[in-house]
Structure 1
Amino acid sequence: MTVLDEAKRDPSGRTCFVTRNSKNFGPDGRLHPELAAEVTEAGVTLEYLSDLKKVLARFAERRPVPHDDARLQARLSARSTTAWLHQFIVAEVASGPFEACVVDLKDEALFLEWTHFDGWLSTPVVEIIGWSDEADYVAADVSRLAATVKVLATGFARTLGFGFTPTAKLVAFTVDVRVIFGEDSLTALSVSGLHPVEDEHKPAAASAARRASTAIQEDLW
């Protein structure tokens, strides 16, 4: 109703309604039929945008940014960024069943099979191991940096073993998160599926796995 009231201020113009709440307002970028009928009845033009990537494409100019841009590196190295990614991984990526590689630190190969898990058992160790597709989105006099961040997550996960007995395994995976950096906040534009750790990142994963293992032992102690 607030959006319709705003649109009625200038019925000849176009009003944009931006929300991620597709459940209440409509999936696939289309308003629910009853809401669309209200827009028609109000005699206004309403553009419904449920994807922030579409908002950026609609209103912002995308400018390339060097990989070693000092502003971007400062945001990527900030503790607040790692803390946000940690919360995002726990809440959005692996809050329920997920897949990961079992890490055996005693095995020369370091990583074993890709296995299903039903949730984290310990607080995961989360770190940035790379980034790509750097950009600056500019709209009016506001600009926001963005990058696709490759995140490494390691820690203990829970799975059901033989006879449905809960079993804890040390695991690792990577995930790519498209992040846009606000002044005091971060937003995920998109997130990939979970991936096995690539060979070049296995040393970092092994180091993170050792830290995760040490942390849980200290907690138990």
Structure 2
Amino acid sequence: MAVRKVVTRSSCHFRGYFPSLKNGHPVAWESQLEGGFFRLLELSPFVLRYEVQPSRERLPLGDTFLDYVPDLRVFLANGSEWWIEVKPSRKLPILSVKQKLSAASIHFPATNRNFLVVTDELIWREPLATNLQKILYHRRGPLLSSEQHAEVCSKLNKYKPHVFHDVISLFGRMEAWRLLGLCVIGINLEETLVEESQVFLSGGHRHANIFA
């Protein structure tokens, strides 16, 4: 549960909710940058779930302390956890921001926790950002039942499609896109998604592992 309310009416920030399947409920975001990062978390095979505004920290800063709430806590399939700050790169040189993030980068390792700053340089880089937006747009609709999932996997294992066009031929265009959105099949998110894109039948989508 968030330690403070994220979405409020009295704010000039652009805020809303992201329909998260991994969390099983909508997740509040405070900026389009956060919403863009949620897309990556939703399609990352490394990520099990994530929490927004997960904790309230007291960061040592000289002779005083600074109250700090990280943007996210991310739970990975390997059992590790990461506390994340999502920040526009243009704000990093600001003295107060630099001091806060410097203190956080010391505080979290000192308490045996992983800490990472994620900027727009990662979230909006292309073709990653466009691929994420396209795939999640087509994820809308009901989830696959266990019987449907087994039937799809059986068909994939039988015909073993190599490229996205093969998947379209097997299931039809709309269903092929939905299988991408549900991570039943994967692609390399760092390459422009076209019908000739290689598909992976296990392990989900491929992209640079920012949690390495």
Q: TM-score range by the shorter chain?
A: under 0.3
- Normalising to structure 2: TM-score of the pair? 0.23
Greater fraction strand = 1
- Normalising to structure 1: TM-score of the pair? 0.22
